[in-house]
C-alpha cells in the first residue's frame, strides 16, 4: 500500500514550515481554513492549538524547509499520524532541476497547485522570507526559477547598514526621480524591488512566451500590487499543492 493511501481521505491539518514561520490550515466545507491566526503566532502556540483540537483531525501533512522544526513539532504531536512530503517523492520525469536534494518542496508544490488552475505555462511567485519565482511549463514539468530575498529582508538592508536613513512605506512615488529623501528611498527600495520582479517576469516571457502568473505568500498582496495585479493571488497555494500531490501521487 502506498504511504499516501491513508492520507487521501479524512480531515487533516496541513503544515507549511518555512524559514521563519509555520503556517497551518485545514479543509472545511470545500474551502481552506487557516488555523486560528489571532491566537497562533509561533510554533509553540500552533502545537498547543493542534493538541486542543486533535480529536477533530485524522493526522498531519507537512511541507517543510526546516528539518529541525519539523522534528520538534512532530515529536510534540506524536499521537497524530503524520506524513512529511519531500522531494524524493516527486517523479523524476516531472523535474528539470539539477540539485533536487536542495529544492524546497514548497516551491514545487506551489507550482503543482498552479498547474491545476492553468493548462498554459505558469510562473509562481511565493513571497515570504525568501521570494521565489518559479516556472512550471504546460507539460507539468517543474523547470526551476529564482530565489531572492523577501521584501522584508530587502527593505531592512539600508536601515540596518545606514540607520540615519528613515524607513519608508512600500509605495512608489508618482514622480521621477525622487525630489525628497523619502521619495528617493521609495524609488530605491520598493521601486528597486518591483523593477527586479518585473525584470524576472519579462525574462520568462522572452524565454517561453505567454504564461499565467500566480502569487502567494505573506507578502503576496504587496507583490500582486507591484505586478499591476496581472497575476492571480491565491493565499493557500502551497496547501492546495500538498493536497493535489497526495491525491495524484502513486
Is 156 annotated in the active site?
A: no
Classify burial at 28, counting beta carbons within 10 Å of its beta carbon; exposed 0-12, middle 13-18, buried 19 or more.
Answer: exposed
Distance CA 36, CA 39 (A): 6
Instruction: Spell out the alpha helix ranges (H) of the chain.
Output: 43-53, 67-76, 105-117, 151-161, 181-188, 190-208, 220-226, 237-248
- Residue 219 grid coordinates: 507578502
Catalytic one of 16, 106, 183, 212:
106
What 3-state class would DSSP assign to 122? strand
Distance CA 31, CA 104 (A): 25
Q: How far is CA 213 from CA 88, 109, 137, in A?
A: 27, 15, 12
Active centre residues (catalytic): 106
Amino acid at each position: 500500500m502506498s504511504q499516501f493511501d491513508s492520507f487521501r481521505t479524512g480531515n487533516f491539518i496541513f503544515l507549511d514550515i518555512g524559514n521563519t514561520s509555520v503556517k497551518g490550515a485545514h479543509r472545511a466545507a470545500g474551502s481552506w481554513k487557516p488555523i486560528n491566526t489571532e491566537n497562533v503566532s509561533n510554533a509553540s502556540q500552533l502545537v498547543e492549538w493542534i493538541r486542543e483540537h486533535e480529536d477533530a483531525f485524522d493526522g498531519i501533512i507537512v511541507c517543510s524547509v526546516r528539518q529541525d522544526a519539523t522534528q520538534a513539532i512532530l515529536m510534540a504531536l506524536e499521537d497524530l499520524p503524520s506524513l512529511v512530503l519531500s522531494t524524493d517523492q516527486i517523479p523524476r520525469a516531472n523535474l528539470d532541476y539539477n540539485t533536487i536534494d536542495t529544492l524546497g518542496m514548497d516551491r514545487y508544490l506551489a507550482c503543482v497547485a498552479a498547474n491545476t488552475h492553468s493548462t498554459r505555462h505558469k510562473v509562481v511567485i511565493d513571497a515570504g522570507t525568501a521570494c521565489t519565482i518559479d516556472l512550471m511549463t504546460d507539460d507539468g514539468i517543474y523547470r526551476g526559477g529564482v530565489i531572492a530575498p523577501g521584501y522584508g529582508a530587502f527593505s531592512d538592508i539600508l536601515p540596518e547598514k545606514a540607520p540615519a536613513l528613515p524607513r519608508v512605506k512600500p509605495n512608489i512615488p508618482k514622480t521621477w526621480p525622487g525630489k525628497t529623501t523619502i521619495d528617493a528611498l521609495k524609488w530605491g527600495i520598493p521601486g528597486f524591488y518591483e523593477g527586479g520582479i518585473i525584470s524576472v517576469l519579462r525574462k520568462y516571457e522572452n524565454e517561453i512566451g505567454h504564461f499565467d502568473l500566480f502569487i502567494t505568500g505573506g507578502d503576496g498582496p504587496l507583490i500582486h500590487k507591484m505586478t499591476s495585479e496581472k497575476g492571480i493571488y491565491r493565499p493557500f497555494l502551497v496547501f492546495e499543492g500538498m493536497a493535489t500531490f497526495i491525491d495524484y501521487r502513486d
